[in-house]
Amino acid sequence: MKKFKLLMIGLLILLSGCVEREILDDLNIETAKGYDTAGEDLIRGTSLYPRYSADKQIENVTLTAEAKSTREVLNLLEKKSDQPLVRGSLENVLISEEMAQRGMLHIADSLQRDASVGARVMLLVSDGPAEEILKGDFGNKGTSDYISTLVNHNIRRGDLAKSNLHLFLFTFFQEGHTPYLPIIQQDDDKTLDLTGVALFKKDKMIDRINKEDMFYFKLLADKYSEGNQVVKLSDKGISLKDSIEASVTSLKSKHKIRIEHNASPVKINVIIEIEGIIKEYTGKRLSPDKIKKVQEKMEQDIETRCLKMLKNFQEKGIDPVGFGQRQKHGVRKMDFKKWEEEEYPQADINVKADVLILESGTVE
């Protein structure tokens, strides 16, 4: 038995030497890709990978190629690369708005089929050419790391609803749910900004949520664990510009959706619950009455803006909140065609907000 164990160990050592090994220094490890349109039929693909100098500085290296399919683009990029291109560390894929409007399922599908690409790769729509962003020099750790940090920070503590490759494809193939992706834009030579949310019908971008409405969209499509929002209180005779402001921080939110399936038209009730802290208040004194006014104004803003947004979704025939999927769970043998063409467009939607201020902080 002892001899057998020694024999097996010896074989394992010998066989391990036969495995083809790849040295990291001999690879170009992609961290980001970009796709733009190039005429009517061509795709312009950009590959980004870091190159480390002797003094440990990071150089952003890009390659570009044009072809009719993402597979052809990949082959051409491989030919242009001085070392093998690998996608195991791919973090971000940027698709220009023009490309997203044409349809981007072929891009998402090619990523999904590549076993080396993780499901949590971030898909973003670029406001402007994706190539220009990837050729920029952002952050100290490389452009792709800068984008990842920016996105993850805004998901955790900002107004960006969670999204990635897996969630995009999941909502695309799920009946009663339509996908959305963050929009990224170059501000200047050193900074990028998340300026909105791209809304899709099938795999084509048809609308967007502007930056000022991202807070309300996240309340509907996701939840807050540590957000913030400024509430403007305007009294009689005071312009909105000179209004008193309350900064509500440490926001936590959740939403409930209740659908009255048998009502005609179908009734959809959205209840949004928020807890937060008033960190700053620009008025003279933050009394209990003022705190109540902040709560009421915040509730009014949420109900008005969210309802307007949901009615726009109905008109556009999109459902990024997933009402149809929730309806499916409540109705056996649901007729999705009837839901999409008749019931959802005519549904009576109501939004109720419940804001609770837990404590208050600084008064200016």
Closest to 181 measured CA to CA, from 144, 207, 142, 216: 207
User: What is the rounded distance in angstroms from the CA atom of residue 335 to the CA atom of residue 277?
Assistant: 44
Q: Report yes or no: 145 and 30 within 8 Å, Cβ to Cβ.
A: no
Residue 87: pLDDT band with limits 50, 70, 90: confident
d(CA 73, CA 66): 6
Q: What is the pLDDT of residue 359?
A: 77
Instruction: List pLDDT tens digits, range 126-146.
Output: 999 999 999 999 988 899 999
Per-residue tokens: 242: 């000179």
* pLDDT more than 70, % of the chain: 89
Name which of 78-92, 138-152, 178-192, 231-245 the model is least confident about.
Answer: 231-245
Task: Please state the pTM of the whole predicted model.
Answer: 0.89
Q: Is the pLDDT of residue 306 over 80?
A: yes
Question: 223-364: which CATH topology?
Answer: GMP Synthetase; Chain A, domain 3 (3.30.300)
- pLDDT, one tens digit per residue, over 197-252 is 999 999 999 999 999 999 999 999 999 999 999 999 876 545 555 679 999 999 99
Contacts 24+ apart (CB under 8 A), 49-52: 49/85, 50/142, 50/144
Rounded to the nearest 10°, the torsion over CA 297, 298, 299, 304 is 90
Higher pLDDT, 70 or 240: 70
No. of helices (H) and no. of strands (E), the chain: 12, 14
Domains of the chain by residue range: 23-209, 223-364
Give the residue-averaged pLDDT of 43-69: 89
Residue 76 pLDDT > 60: yes
Per-residue pLDDT at 20 exceeds 50: no
CA distance 108 to 131: 18
pLDDT of residue 19: 46
Of the candidate ranges 2-6, 73-77, 101-105, the one whose mean pLDDT is the lowest:
2-6
Bridge partners of residue 231, in order along the sequence: 246
Q: For tokens 């990024």, name the residue.
A: 320
17-21, 185-189, 233-237, 276-280: segment of lowest average pLDDT: 17-21
Is residue 257 within 8 A of residue 268, CB to CB? The reply is yes
pLDDT at residue 313, rounded to an integer: 98
Chain-centroid distance of CA 155 in Å reads: 8
- The confidence score (pLDDT) of residue 88 equals 87
Choice among 11-25, 246-260, 266-280, 347-361 with the minimum mean pLDDT: 11-25
Q: What is the mean pLDDT of residues 305-333?
A: 93
Q: Mean pLDDT across the chain, nearest whole number?
A: 90
